[in-house]
Chains A and B, each alone.
Chain A
Amino acid sequence: MDNSGRRTFLGICLAGLGALTAAAVGWPLFRYLAPRTNKESAGKVVIPEAEVKAGEAKFFEYAGSSAVLLRKQDGSLIAFSAICTHLGCIVQWEKDKQDFLCPCHGGHYNSDGAVTAGPPPKPLPRIPFSVAGGNITVG
């Protein structure tokens, strides 16, 4: 094997070894820093029906994020993600206007979660729930 061939071969070996080392260091580092899925908050959330009165909203933590349960004036229930679809701020319930306001950039959503004003591109995502035995189970 001539000198340049040997040099190339050693270069390739060294690059391979470097790549292996980088992977051996990089993977644990990535796993260490990667966000952890919280199993506890990923489960169902149970809220007593009496806690949500007509025309009022209840905010709670759901699947590691913020969610809101709303009882409309007609008594029907609806659950949404409380995260504004514009830039991720948490929306507020305006009881007097019966709509959601995102205070960051003035986005408005009606009680069905549809955008009524401001920059949000999409409605608030809905979250499934069920009602049984006086309890509302979200998720």
Chain B
Amino acid sequence: MRVLNKIVDWIDQRIGAREILKKELTGYLLPRNINAWYSLGSILLFAFALQVLSGILLLIYYVPDADKAFKSVSYIMNEVPYGWLIRMCHAVGSNMMVLALLLHMLSVLFMGSYKRPRELNWLTGFILFSMIQGISLTGYLLPWSQLSFWATTVATNSANAIPVVGPYLVEFLRGGVLVGPPTLGRFFALHVAVIPAGIAALIGAHLFLLKRTGVSTPPFGKKNTESQLQSDVYHHEDHPGGIPFFPDFALEDLRGIAIYMACFLAVLFFDPYLFFPKDAFIPANAFVTPAHIKPEWYFLANYQTLKIFPNELIGLSLQGAAMTFLALLPFVDRGRERHPLKRPLFMACSVGGLLLWIGLSIWGHFS
């Protein structure tokens, strides 16, 4: 310990490290009524780090070539020691991360944390959500299985409904008329370089905005610690008399991460193929379309919407409108009230929307 203290002293004398630690950790006060839902951001950071790490490890053996991709994934799963563990961590982790992200968004919605002055936090978060969907979609193709191939065919084909540029857009996305080796190259570059860099940059922006506006006070629970100043000039939301981030809330975060890991490991070891239909184990064949090809669970509602409407353009426009509405929600819902039970219209719309999404997903699964 004495050596460690000496090292810290040495660094402190040069860059004032203790001052930063005090300001950002022990002196960083959070609302006294903060709850477990606020840990979802840290859980997501942890989940993303796990995806980056397992993704880098997979890159060692994965070959992004249409003739070798499936074989390389089989090699990772069957030959490389613990290759199955790394690959399943990545595959299960992506699904679990989407689930955590949805819960994070729901908690922000129901606690009204997207409202002024946090419109930009919501917007960056919403773009992050879209990018996570993008990284999941591009990653889905990489194992080059029947599932990958045909799910990507269906997903890219939906852009066909866009008037005038649709057919060209589909060809541009695929790098050819049909899904093929050029698509794999494009999706690989997007999945391992372009989108992760974008996500990392947006996480930075999201955290910067959180730091500048301050943590929002939950609209319920113990007595409020928020300083109630409301004005048109910039104001950082302080929480005098609140609880310190370290060690108090850092431990709450750790507890949240431990619960997430427990769920993650439970799926990983007890039902690893939960998210794998049987077509995921058959190499891609451009001449054999499997029956009932389905997207990942979080795209099932989109898939079913496109099936309900005979005109693809209407289905796509509806989804676009819903996504745009959700992205711009802080600019539409401008009331100051944040308690969910005191916002009956919001509650009715959001619970209805949620039930509709769940219903469409279940319908999509069984259709």
Chain B residue at smallest Cβ distance from A27: B82
- Chain A positions within 8 Å of B79 at CB level: 36
From residue 99 to 150 of chain B, which have CB atoms closer than 8 A to chain A? none
- Chain A positions within 8 Å of B86 at CB level: 28, 32
Total interface residues on B, CB under 8 Å, equals 9
* B318 on the A face (CB < 8 A): no
CB pair A36 B80 closer than 8 Å: yes
Determine chain A's interface SS by DSSP, over half rule. helix
Among B57, B60, B81, the one with the most A-chain Cβ atoms within 10 Å of its Cβ is B81
- Chain A positions within 8 Å of B57 at CB level: 29, 32-33
Determine chain B's interface SS by DSSP, over half rule. helix
How near does chain A come to B1, taking the closest CB pair, in angstroms? 11
Q: Classify chain A: how many residues form its interface, as a range.
A: under 10
- Chain A positions within 8 Å of B80 at CB level: 32, 36
How near does chain A come to B217, taking the closest CB pair, in angstroms? 32
Selected from A28, A33, A34, the residue in CB contact (under 8 A) with B85 is A28
Q: List 14 A-B contacts (CB under 8 A).
A: A28-B81, A28-B82, A29-B82, A31-B81, A31-B82, A32-B57, A32-B81, A32-B82, A32-B83, A32-B85, A32-B86, A33-B57, A33-B60, A36-B80
Among A28, A31, A32, the one with the most B-chain Cβ atoms within 10 Å of its Cβ is A32
Chain A residue at smallest Cβ distance from B81: A31
How near does chain B come to A18, taking the closest CB pair, in angstroms? 12
Chain B residue at smallest Cβ distance from A31: B81
CA–CA, A34 to B83, complex, Å?
12
- Chain A positions within 8 Å of B85 at CB level: 28, 32
Given A29-B82, A32-B57, 9 more pairs with CB closer than 8 A: A28-B85, A29-B57, A31-B81, A31-B82, A32-B81, A32-B85, A33-B60, A36-B79, A36-B80
Chain B residue at smallest Cβ distance from A21: B261
- Chain B positions within 8 Å of A32 at CB level: 57, 80-83, 85-86
Chain A residue at smallest Cβ distance from B86: A32
- Chain B positions within 8 Å of A34 at CB level: 81
Mark interface residues in A20-64 (1 if CB within 8 Å of B CB, else 0). Answer: 000000001101111010000000000000000000000000000
